[in-house]
């Protein structure tokens, strides 16, 4: 049996690079979108900066509606088409490799992970102990909170007919959803700032607080991840019960106590596999074909699914919004007073050239 007390962490290096790539893309998109909003604020007088299509990755609800509309009608809604492909890429990653989006790409997941690591070091230095884990009787119901939040959105969306979906997706509210999101952070209210600060502080002392208990996106991906054929497997014959895998797991999964990790919290981060000191003892396996997945190719496989979907959106001509910028200028004037439409009868669709009135 080959034991390596200080195993190298090749997958973690690739995962770090992947996380940094997505942080960089988010910052880049954020800066470009900021200048697009400046152009809107100037009434079109400032130099024009095009709206980055990638911003639609931050509209998961609109994207889920768009995906459901596509399933029902076979049509790609023209307002946020990139969001549909980004969302499908994220769901695709989870269907094949568990909740991998959370640990390989999500910028919030990345921030949460590094806040948690900082908290771990801080707690060790100050109190000679790690971060807190909620007791089981609190942890389980708290973990279900994110499923309740997701169930609310899912019920609202999946109870809509094709017509109602189209009417909603056609509204100025949906068109301006990204601008409204920008304004939420640009003019953040005192209450929202307090909530974000509380979540930040909680994430220092309880690892992944937001992702573990509250993120509805994580809940959706967690459901899909249970269908994923790739699971972490432990060879009980060669395992030396050192517990390093469980210690390395940021999701506190007891990897050393199971033969197959079946958990909606597993993010396929591969930290446990990298930490295992015994060769061929912990690995990723396709539980259907019983074939092991060579961990050297995990980064390329996970990112490959995501970028393949993005590429399909780009080359099929469904990446950039079909709404001309002058419509953004027109609706920007009312964006602050624009409320969430509640009844289909109240939806007032936008007319864009080549599509007619909705």
Residues that bind ligand SF4 (CB under 6 A): 232, 234, 239-245, 248-249, 251, 253, 255-256, 261, 266-272, 275-276, 278, 281-282
Sheet strands (E) in the chain: 230-234, 282-286, 291-293
Residue from 306, 258, 265 nearest 282 by CA: 258
DSSP string, 92-105: HHHHHHSSHHHHHT
Q: How far is the CB of 289 from ligand SF4 (least distance, A)?
A: 19
The residue among 164 and 246 lying less far from ligand SF4, judged by its C-beta, is 246
Identify which of residues 115 and 270 has a Cβ nearer to ligand SF4 in the complex: 270
The whole-angstrom distance between residue 178's C-alpha and the CA centroid of its chain comes to 16
Q: What is the closest distance, in whole angstroms, from the C-beta atom of residue 278 to ligand SF4 in the complex?
A: 5
Q: How far is the CB of 256 from ligand SF4 (least distance, A)?
A: 4
- Nearest distance from residue 313's CB to ligand SF4, in Å? 29
Of the pair 84, 249, the CB lying nearest ligand SF4 is at: 249
Q: What is the DSSP string of 65-91?
A: HHHHHHHHHS---SSSHHHHHHHHHHH
Minimum Å gap between C-beta 268 and ligand SF4 is 5
Burial class (CB in 10 A: 0-12, 13-18, 19+), 223: middle
Whose Cβ is closer to ligand SF4: residue 56's or residue 274's?
Answer: 274
Least CB distance to ligand SF4 at residue 249 (A)? 3
Residue 49 or 246 with smaller CB distance to ligand SF4: 246
> CA 79 to CA 63: how far, in whole Å?
10
**In angstroms, what is the minimal distance from the CB of 99 to ligand SF4?**
8
Nearer to ligand SF4, 64 or 302 (CB): 302
Cβ neighbours of residue 267 closer than 8 Å, sequence gap 6 or more:
98, 99, 100, 102, 103, 104, 109, 250, 251
Sheet holding 291-293, edge to edge: 230-234, 282-286, 291-293
**Beta-carbon contacts of residue 134 (< 8 Å; ≥ 6 apart):** 142, 206
Residue with Cβ nearer ligand SF4 (49 or 242): 242
Structure tokens at 273: 């596999």
Task: Provide the minimum distance between the beta carbon of 248 and ligand SF4 in the complex, in angstroms, as a whole number.
Answer: 6
Closest to ligand SF4 by CB, 91 vs 275, is 275
Give the DSSP letter string of 296-343.
GGHHHHHHHHHHHHHHHHHHTT-SS-SS-HHHHHHHHTTGGG-PPP-S
């Amino acid at each position: 049996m080959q034991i390596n007390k200080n195993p190298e962490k090749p997958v973690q290096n690739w995962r770090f690079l992947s996380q940094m790539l997505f942080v960089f893309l988010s910052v880049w998109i954020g800066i470009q979108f900021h200048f697009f909003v400046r152009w809107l604020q100037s009434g079109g007088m400032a130099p024009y900066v095009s709206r980055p299509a990638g911003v639609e990755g931050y509209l998961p609800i609109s994207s889920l509606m768009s995906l459901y509309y596509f399933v029902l009608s076979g049509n790609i809604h023209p307002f946020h088409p990139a969001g549909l492909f980004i969302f499908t890429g994220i769901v695709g990653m989870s269907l094949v490799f568990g909740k991998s989006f959370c640990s390989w790409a999500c910028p919030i997941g990345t921030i949460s992970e590094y806040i948690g690591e900082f908290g771990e070091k801080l707690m060790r230095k100050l109190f000679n102990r790690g971060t807190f884990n909620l007791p089981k009787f609190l942890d389980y119901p708290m973990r279900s909170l994110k499923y309740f939040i997701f169930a609310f959105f899912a019920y609202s969306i999946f109870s809509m007919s094709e017509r109602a979906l189209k009417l909603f997706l056609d509204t100025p509210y949906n068109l301006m959803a990204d601008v409204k999101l920008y304004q939420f952070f640009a003019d953040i209210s005192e209450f929202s700032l307090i909530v974000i600060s509380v979540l930040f502080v909680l994430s220092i002392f309880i690892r992944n607080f937001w992702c573990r208990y509250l993120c509805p996106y994580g809940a959706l991906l967690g459901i899909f991840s249970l269908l994923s054929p790739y699971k972490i497997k432990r060879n009980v014959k060669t395992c030396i019960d050192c517990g390093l895998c469980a210690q390395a797991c940021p999701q506190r999964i007891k990897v050393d106590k199971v033969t197959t990790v079946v958990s909606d919290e597993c993010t396929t981060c591969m930290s446990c596999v990298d930490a295992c000191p015994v060769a061929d003892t912990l690995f990723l396996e396709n539980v259907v074909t019983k074939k092991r997945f060579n961990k050297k190719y995990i980064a390329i496989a996970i990112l490959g699914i995501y970028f393949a979907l993005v590429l399909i959106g780009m080359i099929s001509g469904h990446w950039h919004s079909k709404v001309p910028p002058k419509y953004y200028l027109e609706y920007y004037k009312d964006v602050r007073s624009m409320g969430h439409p509640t009844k289909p009868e109240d939806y007032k669709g936008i007319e864009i050239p080549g599509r007619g009135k909705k």
